[in-house]
Amino acid sequence: MDAVAARTARVAALKAQVDARLDALCPPSGGRLTAAMHYALSTPGKRLRPLLLLLTAAQLGQSAETALDAACAVEMVHAASLVLDDLPCMDDAAVRRGQPSTHARFGQDVAVLAGVALLNQAYALLARAGHLPAEVRLAMVEALSGAVGLEGLVAGQALDLHEPVASLAGLREAHHRKTGVLFMAAVTLGGLIGGASLTELLALERFAAELGLAFQARDDVSDAGEVQPDYGAARTTLISLLGHEGAVQEADGRLTSSKRALVAGGPRLEPLCAYVDLLMGERRVAEAAS
Ligand code: GRG
């Protein structure tokens, strides 16, 4: 097996561990609310955030088992954000991950409760990770709740709904809050579990912030080739601000910067560079998993 195939197989195996643990942590039995939570978690997502966490922790010498519940906590926050984002009062999306969105399947009332419950279960999972020192658990809760709150997803969503962006700086800020902050929390949790130094933690944050911008830039580029939902007034995107070529350059540049940040973080982090393209190119991972 060559190195690329080995990495692809490793990522697919980690993803399968995340899927199985989420299934165990949030089984479908118990009623309509737990069924909705299970549904929101089990629709086919790429599991990018837990993979970032697990690969970071592994790079710092920790097993997948040690970091698995923290990885699931991050995915629960992500799933909660998608459930809430899809609601009619937010982005009003009937389909998520190729399937009916959670409110389309279970009703809005249950979807709101499922999102809130997933969020709380995520923090509880971190607090209860008794195999990790209390100060690590506390730092993890602080990092993850910070990524959700007034400096993260919630604030980003409020801006998205009520203050449409028009400038490049504004769009980057929105992209950062939508994606970068949770990527940052994922690698920070991996770093905390792995006992990263301050220099390594800062490098990981920089890496994830750049990766988040690359991810969103790629999203704008690929969305531009698809039929878009009718949002009324046209949305500002990297394509509308920079043109197609400019948006592609932005994506490539951010990806390069993300790898540079890892290199700057030192020899323990540098090997993560080899996984960046793999994580950004979902197809090979999905194929290896099937
Ligand atoms: C209280 C958690 C919480 C959130 C409230 C609704 C909201 C505020 C925020 C939503 C922000 C949002 C929808 C961000 C989108 C992020 C994003 C890039 C989603 C797609 O990520 P992928 O491609 O998705 O990793 P999969 O489906 O593969 O997991």
**How much is the pLDDT for 209?**
98
pLDDT-above-90 percentage for the chain: 85
pLDDT of residue 222: 85
Angle between helices 108-127 and 32-42 (to 10 degrees): 70
Query: Sorting pLDDT into bands at 50, 70 and 90, what band is 1?
Result: confident
In a domain? residue 290: no
> What pLDDT digit, counting tens, does each position of 116-125 carry?
999 999 999 9
Q: Is the pLDDT of residue 228 over 60?
A: no
Q: What is the per-residue pLDDT across 237-260, written as a single tens digit (0 to 9) for each?
A: 899 999 999 999 999 999 999 999
Mean pLDDT, range 129-157, rounded to an integer? 96
Q: Average the pLDDT over each of 113-117, 226-230, 263-267 and give the range with the smallest value.
A: 226-230
Q: Is residue 287 part of a domain?
A: no
Residue 146 has pLDDT above 50, yes or no: yes
Residue 136: pLDDT above 60? yes
Query: What are the pocket residues of ligand 1 if the criterion is a CB atom closer than 6 Å to any ligand atom?
Result: 45-46, 48, 77-78, 80-82, 84-85, 90, 97, 119, 148, 153-154, 157, 178-179
Ligand 1 geometric centre to CA of 269 (Å): 26
Q: Is the sign of the CA dihedral 137, 116, 101, 30 positive or negative?
A: positive
pLDDT score, position 151:
86
pLDDT at 285: 33
Residues 31-73: pLDDT tens digits?
999 999 999 999 999 999 999 999 999 999 999 999 999 999 9
Q: Is the pTM of this model over 0.75?
A: yes
What integer is the mean pLDDT of 128-145?
98
Residues spanned by the domain of 221: 3-281
Q: Read off the CATH number of the domain in which 99 is found.
A: 1.10.600.10
Q: Is residue 168 part of a domain?
A: yes
The alpha carbon of 42 and the centre of ligand 1 are apart by a number of angstroms equal to: 15
- How far is ligand 1, taken at its centre, from the CA of residue 178, in Å? 7
pLDDT value at residue 287: 39
Q: Which residue has the CA at smallest separation from atom 23 of ligand 1?
A: 46
In a domain, 17, yes or no: yes
Q: What is the mean pLDDT of the chain?
A: 92
pLDDT, residue 235, reads: 79
Nearest CA to ligand 1 atom 1: 81
Q: How far is the CA of 23 from the centre of ligand 1 (A)?
A: 20
Q: Say if 75 falls within a structural domain.
A: yes
Minimum CA distance residue for ligand 1 atom 17: 179
Q: What local confidence, expressed as pLDDT, does residue 225 receive?
A: 65
Mean of the pLDDT values across residues 255-269? Answer: 97
Judge whether 288 lies within some domain: no
Is 286 within a domain? no
More confident residue, 219 or 135: 135
Q: What total of structural domains would you count in the chain?
A: 1
pLDDT tier at 25 (50, 70, 90 boundaries)?
very high
Residue-level pLDDT at 160: 86
pLDDT at 286: 37
* pLDDT at residue 226, rounded to an integer: 56
